[in-house]
Amino acid sequence: MRVWVCGVRGSTPSPGPRFVRYGGNTSCVALAHDGELPSLVLDAGTGLSRAGALLEGEPYIGAILLGHLHWDHTQGLPFSPAFDRPDAEVTLYLPAQGDPVEVLSRAMSPPHFPILPTALRGSWRFASLEPGTTKIEGFEVLALDIPHKGGRTFGYRITDPGGRTLAYLSDHWPISLGPGPDGLGEYHPAVLELCAGADLILHDAQYTAAELPERAEFGHSAIEYAVVLAERCGSSLLLYHHAPTRTDDELDELVRPLGGHRPSVRAAAEGMIVDL
């Protein structure tokens, strides 16, 4: 499995010179089988245009998995030419919560946006995904409900035919289930099932432990929670969904003490490629 990091920010994009090295686009990760073009995309934030650029001028043919429907995970849908063109073939999955087109159209329709999801060019299919295991584009996908404020949210565990596994929890609010053993949230059954033994975890790291008390109701995790989770699961970790105000230099300072950590801990950056 090849993993391309295409968007790393949470809440809103972060333009400007202070956000160049880690990137300012919102959540999007592209996956491919060995030697192939991407065929599975996780979330469709503004990083989706970067995912489209990986296709070498070809249309996207594959699936998109949305973890949830907040703006920072859907805004890229109509703005990536590889996905919005007559010869594209896209199946978009979202956590089940009624008719998927109707739910998407609440944010993507006039007067909030000029077109409906059904006006995207190409062959688009919109599907609801229930918790459990599904085969999508040759990957085994386990979807489970995880806590996050403001709508149903899934975490995903993606396994390729060779057994390599990625856990993707872009938005996670474990403190909502209680303080847990370290005051940062519970290590609850769903998160442990998604992450146990994964080769790589991409996990919400929007706040630090020091910031969390003031932001505990905002729906996200602390960096320190993600690190302990990865330790428990024996997995490498990419800190993800960075706070939109967190500059390159500030991210450097946060990850520098983790440089010798085992399993490895890094801050996700746009353009990063990980081969599992």
Confidence of residue 262 (pLDDT cuts 50, 70, 90): confident
What secondary structure letter does DSSP report for 241?
Answer: S
- The two tokens of residue 147 are 């806590």
Q: How confident is the model at residue 269 (pLDDT cuts 50, 70, 90)?
A: very high
Statement: residue 260 has pLDDT above 90: no
* 251 in Cβ contact with 19 (< 8 Å): no
Listed in sequence order, the residues at least 6 apart from 125 whose beta carbon sits closer than 8 Å to its beta carbon are: 90, 91, 92
Does residue 105 surpass a pLDDT of 90? Answer: yes
pTM (two decimals) = 0.97
Q: What is the percent of the chain where pLDDT is above 70?
A: 100
Query: Which residue in 22, 24, 62 sits closest to 42, CA to CA?
Result: 62
Mean pLDDT of all residues in the chain?
97
Q: pLDDT at position 137, please?
A: 98
CA 94 to chain centre: 13
| Strand (E) or helix (H) holding 223 | helix 223-233
> Where residue 149 falls among pLDDT bands split at 50, 70, 90?
very high
Q: What topology is assigned to 2-275 in CATH?
A: Metallo-beta-lactamase; Chain A (3.60.15)
Condensed to tens digits (0 to 9), the pLDDT of residues 73-100 reads 999 999 999 999 999 999 999 999 999 9
> Residue 239 pLDDT > 90, yes or no?
yes
Q: Is the pLDDT of residue 259 over 90?
A: no
Asked if the bond preceding 111 is cis, omega within 30° of 0, the reply is yes
Sheet holding 89-95, edge to edge: 123-129, 89-95, 61-65, 40-42, 28-32, 2-7, 273-275
| Weakest-pLDDT range from 140-144, 185-189, 256-260 | 256-260
* Confidence at residue 89, expressed as pLDDT on a 0 to 100 scale: 98
Region 185-199: mean pLDDT is: 98
* Per-residue model confidence (pLDDT) at position 152: 97
Average pLDDT over residues 223-244: 97
Residue with tokens 């599907």: 127
Mean pLDDT over residues 177-202, rounded?
98
The CA R_g of the chain, rounded to the nearest whole Å, is: 17
Mean pLDDT of 266-274: 98
Chain centre to alpha carbon of residue 232: 21
Residue 79's closest CA among 115, 105, 125? 115
What number is the average pLDDT over the span 121-125? 98
- The pLDDT of residue 206 is 98
Confidence of residue 261 (pLDDT cuts 50, 70, 90): confident
Give the separation between CA 199 and CA 141, rounded to whole angstroms.
15
pLDDT band at 252 (very low <50, low <70, confident <90, very high): very high
224 pLDDT higher than 90: yes
Longest Cα–Cα distance in the chain:
52
Do 5 and 270 meet the contact criterion of CB atoms below 8 Å apart?
yes
Half-sphere exposure of 19 (CA within 13 A, CB side): 18
